[in-house]
Amino acid sequence: MGKSEQANQQTDQQALDENIKNIRYKLVILSGKGGVGKSTVVVNLATSLARQGKSVGILDTDLHGPNIAKMMGLEGTAMTASSAEEIVPLESHGIKVLSMASFLPDADSPVVWRGPLKMKAIRQFLAETRWGTLDYLLVDSPPGTGDEPLSVCQLIPDMDGVIVVTTPQDVALLDSRKSVNFARLLKVPVLGIVENMSGFTCPHCGKQIDLFKRGGGERAAKELNVPFLGRVPIDPRMVTSGDDGRPFVSDHGETEAARAMEGILSNILRNVEGAPVPTKEGETA
Ligand SMILES: Nc1ncnc2c1ncn2[C@@H]1O[C@H](COP(=O)(O)OP(=O)(O)O)[C@@H](O)[C@H]1O
Ligand SMILES: [Mg+2]
């Protein structure tokens, strides 16, 4: 790399740092494979955070399969740039949302890009988007440990943590290990593992059926020596909510699955923000 190229990169990084300096906590969600519920977890954690009064943004870096816009009820809403230099995120349920889907001419257009182009897009999403002041930015990822999460973690060197989502089968260990090792390699703290699609209560007889077994995520967490954040049962209404673009936790707050999401969020917050610091005896700040 030439000297001027190196200097350019430094200036680029400074501009990016400056643009996201008012985002307090940045978290990235990973999984070994697709369809385990990453995007669903992102949407529901973000909604729960917003319901607690926190300001939240979601960055969807699943460039090839961006689902966040649809799950947040923003499908078909095109992005408008406020000026040539700035992207204004869309807003839904009080959450700022930026997804590749909003830049595509229609839902069926594929993105055919190699690594460097993906990195460039993600850099723009971070450096040229008017994120403003946020308590949390949740970054959704495609499955695996490819260009997208690598770019994100390199572009945000002070990333606060990785959350790994898995399903309960024995292969959870195999699937989670790569994500955990990826985080360790990049020196990003692992906040823990979520076991999703863990058990299903039959709505007719009330009995529990373990469609994908149970406990694999928890065992993986133990084995990999990272926190276990909790398990979310299968709830068919979660599929409907996602398809309808309505966060499950806001429509079905009383369900076991919604309470599980809330519990997972508390575990994450405890880890990220730490326990409240006692000021005087018996008081908390
Ligand atoms: N706990 C759950 N119960 C029922 N359906 C779920 C659950 N978690 C996710 N889903 C559904 O599974 C599908 C895949 O989830 P998604 O979040 O898109 O996974 P990923 O982002 O990991 O590919 C979606 O249709 C979603 O609604
Ligand atoms: Mg997804």
CATH number at residue 75: 3.40.50.300
Residue 80 has pLDDT above 60, yes or no: yes
Q: Residue range 80-94: average pLDDT?
A: 82
**Residue 78 contacts residue 102 (beta carbons within 8 Å):** yes
Please report whether residue 20 resides in a domain. Answer: no
Contact 11, 121 (CB under 8 A): no
Instruction: Confirm whether 5 is domain-assigned.
Output: no
In a domain, 4, yes or no: no
User: Is residue 85, in this structure, part of any structural domain at all?
Assistant: yes
Q: Give the closest residue (by CA) to ligand 1 atom 17.
A: 37
- Kindly state the average pLDDT of the residues 90-106: 91
Residue with tokens 């326990």: 275
Give pLDDT, residue 110: 86
Q: Tell me the two tokens of residue 207.
A: 């009995």
Pocket test for ligand 1, best of 239, 248, 264 (most atoms within 8 A of CB): 239
DSSP of the chain: --HHHHHHHHHHHHHHHHHTTTEEEEEEEE-SSTTSSHHHHHHHHHHHHHHTT--EEEEE--SSS--HHHHTT-TTPPP-EEETTEEPPEEETTEEEEEGGGGSSSTTPPP---HHHHHHHHHHHHHSB---SEEEEEEE--SSSSHHHHHHHHH-TT--EEEEEE-SSTHHHHHHHHHHHHHHHTT--EEEEEEES--EE-TTT--EE-BTBSSHHHHHHHHHT--EEEEE---HHHHHHHHHT--HHHH-TTSHHHHHHHHHHHHHHHHHH-SPPB-STT-B-
Local confidence band at 138 (pLDDT 50, 70, 90 cut-offs) = very high
When pLDDT is averaged across residues 231-259 and rounded to a whole number, the result is: 97
Residue 124 lies in a domain: yes
More reliable by pLDDT, 256 or 105: 256
Mean pLDDT score of the chain, rounded to an integer?
92
- Is-contact 196 36, C-beta < 8 A? yes
Residue 72 placed within a domain: yes
Q: Distance, CA 181 to ligand 1 centroid (Å)? A: 24
Digit-coded pLDDT (tens) for 152-172: 999 999 999 999 999 998 898
Which atom of ligand 1 sits closest to the CA of residue 234?
3
58 in Cβ contact with 134 (< 8 Å): no
| pLDDT computed for residue 250 by the predictor | 96
Whether 88 is in a domain gets the answer yes
159/45 Cα distance (integer angstroms): 17
Q: Does the beta carbon of 40 sit less than 6 angstroms from any atom of ligand 1?
A: yes
Q: Is residue 279 part of a domain?
A: no
Ligand 1 close to Cβ of residue 167 (< 6 A): no
Greater model confidence, 117 or 3: 117
Ligand 1: nearest atom to the Cα of 62: 21
Q: Are 252 and 235 in contact (CB under 8 A)?
A: yes
Q: Which is more confident, 34 or 6?
A: 34
How many folded domains does the chain comprise?
A: 1
pLDDT for residue 285 is more than 50 = no
Long-range pairs of 12-19 with CB within 8 A, sequence gap ≥ 24? 12/123, 12/127, 13/155, 15/127, 16/123, 16/126, 16/127, 16/155, 19/126, 19/127, 19/128, 19/129, 19/131
Percent of the chain with pLDDT over 90: 78
- Looking at the CA of residue 35, tell me the nearest atom of ligand 1: 23
| Ligand nearest to the CA of residue 33, numbered in listed order | 1
Ligand 1: residue of 30, 36, 38, 40 to mutate (most ligand atoms within 8 A of CB) is: 40
Within 10 angstroms of residue 220's Cβ, the number of other Cβ atoms is: 27
Task: Tell the residue number behind the tokens 């999403």, with chain if given.
Answer: 125
Going by alpha carbons, the residue nearest to atom 11 of ligand 1 is 239
Q: What is the pTM of this model?
A: 0.94
Q: How far is CA 77 from the centre of its chain?
A: 21
Closest protein CA for atom 14 of ligand 1: 35
Distance 119 CA to ligand 1 centre (A): 26
Q: Probe ligand 1: pick from 196, 238, 241, max atoms within 8 Å of CB?
A: 238
Residues 159-194, buried b or exposed e (16+ Cβ, 10 A)? bbbbbbbbbbbebbbebbebbbebbeebebebbbbb
Domain limits for position 70: 27-273
How many Cβ atoms are within 10 Å of 270's Cβ, its own excluded? 13
pLDDT level of residue 15 (50, 70, 90 thresholds): very high
At residue 82, the pLDDT reads 62
CA of 15 to the centre of ligand 2 (A): 29
Share of the chain above pLDDT 70, in %: 94
pLDDT in tens, 180-206: 999 999 999 999 999 999 999 998 999
Given a cut of 60, whether residue 281 has pLDDT beyond it is: no
